[in-house]
Amino acid sequence: MRSEQEMLDLILSTAREDERIRAVVLNGSRANPNAPRDPFQDFDVVYFVTDVAPYRYAFEWIRRFGEMMILQMPEDMADPPPQETGSFCYLMQFADGNRIDLGIDPLDHIPEIVADSQSIVLLDKDGIIPPLPSASDCDYLPKPPTAKAFADCCNEFWWVAPYVAKGLWRQEILNAKYMLDVYVRNQLTKMLAWTIGLKTNFTGDPGKHGKYVKRYLEPDKWELLLKTYSGADYDATWEALFATCTLFRQLALEVAAAFALEYPHGDDARVSAHLEHVRRLPPDAKEIY
């Protein structure tokens, strides 16, 4: 596997030798001083060029970056549809384990891209990029909840939880797990982010999809969070649902108390009782109540 320095040397030498590439910016986790370093980190790089067109589908040109394991080009895909911003991107996973996500952008995209707090200028041939503050993860830190955001999160959580119960009673495990692991968990994730913000004065980053959450949770809450995940087993999924409700309640009450917000105790009590009732409901029941 090529080292970080070898990869950066390759990225920069390619840019220096090509007059059409006027600036290079590194962003993503390698520009985040608080991200743990490991060999799986991508090289998120933007080449700012005088003309994007020659770099589109330039398969011979990208060979210089290494032996490809697999390539993806977002602008060439139908699902999801391309954003059509005038950029072109090569997502390159190499056979040696390295990965470069290489954006080719026109020069007028510079202000938008370097506005991201995780930006480091690697090369600026013309001095066109203004001085940037030291790279940080400040753009990705949780913000304190507004009363509306907190209320909406709680409402959505308790609204969607019965969908999980319904799917489990119907023996529709795929639907039940989707509702639990997507819609219900999305609200739990929001509450986790606010809780971490509360514990760190909103200087702690839970990470993309919660990858750093373990750093900040007490051991008992971390163990409870792990119990919110289950395999494709009905009883285990019921237990995961109730664990999710318990953890959400604990976190939400802490956040509500800290920010003088109103927790919907009535919704919680009524929905929780309904979930317990549906779990005990016979599989051949003709009525819910």
What b/e readout covers 167-202, taking b as 16+ CB neighbours within 10 angstroms?
bbbeeeeeebbebbbebbbebbebbbbbbbbbeeeb
What are the DSSP calls for 194-241, one per residue?
A: HHHHHHHTS-----GGGTTGGGTS-HHHHHHHHTT---S-HHHHHHHH
Q: Identify whether the C-beta of residue 101 lies closer than 8 Å to the C-beta of residue 89.
A: yes
Q: pLDDT (tens digit, 0 to 9) for every residue of the chain, 289 residues total?
A: 999 999 999 999 999 999 999 999 999 999 999 899 999 999 999 999 999 999 999 999 999 999 999 999 999 999 989 888 999 999 999 999 999 999 999 999 999 999 999 999 999 999 999 999 999 999 999 999 999 999 999 999 999 999 999 999 999 999 999 999 999 999 999 999 999 999 999 999 999 889 999 999 999 999 999 999 999 999 999 999 999 999 999 999 999 999 999 999 999 999 999 999 999 999 999 999 9
Q: Collapse the DSSP code of 90 into the 3-class scheme (helix H, G, I; strand E, B; otherwise coil) and give the result.
A: strand
Q: Rounded to an integer, what distance in angstroms lies between the CA atom of residue 22 and that of residue 105?
A: 11
Q: Identify whether the C-beta of residue 188 lies closer than 8 Å to the C-beta of residue 244.
A: yes
Q: Which domains does the chain have, with CATH numbers?
A: 4-139 (3.30.460.10), 141-280 (1.20.120.330)
Q: Cis bond leading into 80, ω under 30°?
A: yes
What are the DSSP calls for 103-114, one per residue?
A: EEEEGGGHHHHH
